[in-house]
Structure 1
Amino acid sequence: MKFTLPLLLLVSLLQACSQTSAPPPAIAPQTPQHYFAKVDADAIPQVAAFYQLSEAQQQQFLQFYHQTKLQQLPGNKRLEMFLHQQLSNFHYEGKNYSASQTMQLMSGNCMSLAVLTTALAKLVNIEVGYRATYGEPMLNFSGDLFISSDHVRTYLFSQDEPDPDRLITQKAAVAIDYFPDRLDRLGAMFDHRRFAAMMYNNLAADALLADDQNKAFWLTQAALQQDPTYSASINLLGILYRRAGDLASAQQWYEFGLKHSINPAAIAGNYLQVAQELNDNAAIHRLEALLQQSNDDNPYNWFYLAYQAEQQQQQDKAILYYQKLLEQAPYLHRANLALARLYLQQNNNTAARTVLRQALRYSYEQGQVAMYKAKLQAVNERQSGQAQPE
């Protein structure tokens, strides 16, 4: 993949954070909306529309679910069986579909699968939960946007009540996931309102990629009506105001996001660019310190920041951000290679060798193992003077 365009902005399509204590009141900034023309009402779907299924689709599922031979199984297992049967030939594509569209087309992204799973669960009163997971994402550049699609896992909980005589009182659950990779890092659990906000935010990102900033704005507003402190949508609002030339409003939303986000790396990274344009040195120093101290649990926010630092010839910052990324996802070979390259540019052969050895420990594919061994040999030869650095 060629990275030829300047990296300015980050759109995080899927992002979730937990709330372990009562958050401060979310008083959203009152910023002007006249930059963004109203769109037709049907352009902003209602939440219920995400989960609508046709009568035929409902009957197809219910006939399977109520089969006599399956009645000995818990409801969540029966739903899982139906999805496994229906989705054996499912085609993954990065599109956001409603439940009905997903079932009809047998395609979509991980959110589409989660929407369909939720719609079916609603028909038979099965409790649903969601969790962010961070495997290697799809990364893409579009104009001045860096697109990172993360992943969501859906849980179908048992309808049986926990046994009060047992130490473990959590309900049993089955996980519905496109890619249950053993190397995925699990994020926080979240609820239906956060999930709806994520769906609106995905649609807003689609609109932004289509250069429809008006639609993107109002979809983002719909997301924040579901979850007023959803950081991905706050981040997107900052991007939209920045594009509209209103840096002051962008700054207000970024400040709001920092106040309410548990993992603020993506917001801080975009806010830093606005602060630089405003020549706000106090904000610049504060944001740089925040990024150094942050332990954002989404490793791919660090990928964006590291790449941005490289583009700006800030090697030390890039190294720091790649290190943070690899603390979360040591198996991501692109980050290992990038960090080793930066160390070699600084003539730090020892650090480069350490990174490559660590990468070898997390390499399972034959091609990756061979690649890391070859690079380790090249570093050893370079240090011994048998080969000249490029």
Structure 2
Amino acid sequence: MRLMLILFFSILLQACQATDKPQMPRPTLPQLNYAAELFDGGVPAPEDFYQLSAAQIKSLNEFVAQEHIASLPRYKQAYAYLKKRLVNFNFQGENYSATESLENNGGNCMALAMLTYAIAKEMDVEFRFQVMHTMPVLLDISDEIAVTSDHVRTFLYEASEDESVALFGRSRVQIDYFPDKYDRGGKLINQEEFLAMFYRNLAADAIFIGDLNYAFLLLNKSLKIAPYYEPAINMQAVVLRKLGDEESAEKLYRYGLEIAENKITLLSNYHFLLELDGRAEQADRIKQQLLALEDQSPYTWYLQALDAMSKQDYKSAKVYLNKFLQNTHYYHRAYYDLAKVQVILGEYQLAEESLALAMKYTERTQDRSLYQTKIDRLSNL
């Protein structure tokens, strides 16, 4: 479904100010050593993702020309078309282009967002994307891969002849194909960052099948469109490490740490690189930065905790779980994981308290039964 891959070496949207001092220029992407060879077809252009076929455009025009649709505002016409097309849609995990989504009547969340993008562009409807954070799903620790559920939802806006009317002052419709009670709204992103995200998703597909060369090329395209897009910076660094270009990978980690708002995964993967290279002192400094970092990222800390637990680094796991729960106190599974860590550390009373909180925040009878059983066992110790 709505899958976004991050490599698991450390699982892992003001007031005006006076500008007395000149602003420092932002860093630029470093020069990389690795050079991938293009193969037949190369990397798709952005328009390949959102350009509809002539037949699809004809079908769209015929739909909006219907009397009961033509009377609607343009943004509601677009919404009505999407709603009709999704009645029997196959919500599968494919990163289809807009054309492919319509042809196959299916696709994942990013494919559906791309379809919305294509329809909005064709109909000249103004739109924005918002990043949504959903609980990550851990697939395979041994393969050092995790999948997270970050996706986007789309807002379609009513047109305004007065350009001074801001978007938040206009009527709009919201399109989120996979809403979940654990979703956390993130930042609004522009079209460039959305396209960069789509290239990153394709790169994740390439990594899953072991085509690191193609993943490298896709991530190059992603960073060309949005050079400050942290997830692509991080993923490209991991790909470069796997390709043997550790020098370029380190350059990218350093660059990412200069410009990224969310530094957790960058620090974690940089720490892993330094450990592999035998630079224990530098690796420890990066690890201490990570442990001391205060960041309200919704779910990245939870991934860090899962990774630490897999490495039997239970003291770090406890730190990461507590950081996560400070900002996401309602996720019962994290309390259960914390209780497991506390038991290993000999903190039995704290483990009982964590399990009680896990029971408080779950609605499933099966979970409540599990947590009560664990509490009963601890009480008998």
What TM-score comes out, normalization by structure 1 length?
A: 0.85
Matches within 5 A, 1:24-35: 24-34=25-35
Structure 1 residue 119 corresponds to structure 2 residue 118: yes
1:246 maps to 245
Deviation at 1:64, TM superposition (A): 2.1
2:298 maps to 299
2-side partners of 1:359 and 1:272: how far apart? 31
Structure 1 residue 372 corresponds to structure 2 residue 368: no
Q: 1:314 to 1:278 in 2, by over 3 A?
A: same
Alpha carbons 1:330, 1:359 under 8 Å: kept:
no
SS of the aligned residue for 1:50 comes to: helix
SS of the aligned residue for 2:188 comes to: strand
Aligned length: 367
Alpha carbons 2:50, 2:99 under 8 Å: kept:
yes
Deviation at 1:254, TM superposition (A): 0.4
SS of the aligned residue for 1:91 comes to: coil
Deviation track 1:228-263 (CA, whole Å, cap 9, x = no partner) reads: 111111111211221122322211110011111100
2-side partners of 1:39 and 1:144: how far apart? 28
2-side partners of 1:329 and 1:91: how far apart? 31
Structure 1 vs Structure 2 CA RMSD: 2.8
1-side partners of 2:63 and 2:44: how far apart? 30
2:378 maps to 382
User: Match of 2:355, as an amino acid?
Assistant: L
Deviation track 1:284-313 (CA, whole Å, cap 9, x = no partner) reads: 244223322434444332233212211222
Deviation track 1:298-351 (CA, whole Å, cap 9, x = no partner) reads: 433223321221122211101111222223433434322211111122232332
2:3 maps to none
User: Match of 2:38, as an amino acid?
Assistant: K
SS of the aligned residue for 2:257 comes to: helix
1-side partners of 2:143 and 2:312: how far apart? 21
2-side partners of 1:217 and 1:63: how far apart? 41
User: Match of 2:207, as an amino acid?
Assistant: L
SS of the aligned residue for 1:229 comes to: coil
2:177 maps to 178
2-side partners of 1:232 and 1:199: how far apart? 11
1-side partners of 2:209 and 2:123: how far apart? 37
Alpha carbons 2:216, 2:240 under 8 Å: kept:
no
**Structure 2: segments with no counterpart, 5+ residues:** 1-6, 18-22
> Once structures 1 and 2 are overlaid, which stretch shifts more, 82-91 or 201-210?
82-91
User: Match of 2:72, as an amino acid?
Assistant: L
Q: 1:164 to 1:232 in 2, by over 3 A?
A: closer
Alpha carbons 2:134, 2:299 under 8 Å: kept:
no
Alpha carbons 2:134, 2:148 under 8 Å: kept:
no
> Once structures 1 and 2 are overlaid, which stretch shifts more, 156-165 or 312-321?
156-165
Q: 1:342 to 1:279 in 2, by over 3 A?
A: same
> Once structures 1 and 2 are overlaid, which stretch shifts more, 187-196 or 241-250?
241-250
Deviation at 1:163, TM superposition (A): 11
Deviation at 1:8, TM superposition (A): 5.4
2:144 maps to 144
Q: 1:74 to 1:182 in 2, by over 3 A?
A: farther
Deviation at 1:162, TM superposition (A): 7.7
Deviation at 1:72, TM superposition (A): 4.2
Aligned-residue identity in percent: 32
Alpha carbons 1:187, 1:297 under 8 Å: kept:
no
1:4 maps to none
Matches within 5 A, 1:1-390: 9=9, 24-34=25-35, 36-40=36-40, 42-141=41-140, 143-160=143-160, 170-281=169-280, 283-376=282-375, 378=376, 382-383=378-379, 387-388=380-381
Deviation at 1:200, TM superposition (A): 0.7
What TM-score comes out, normalization by structure 2 length?
A: 0.87
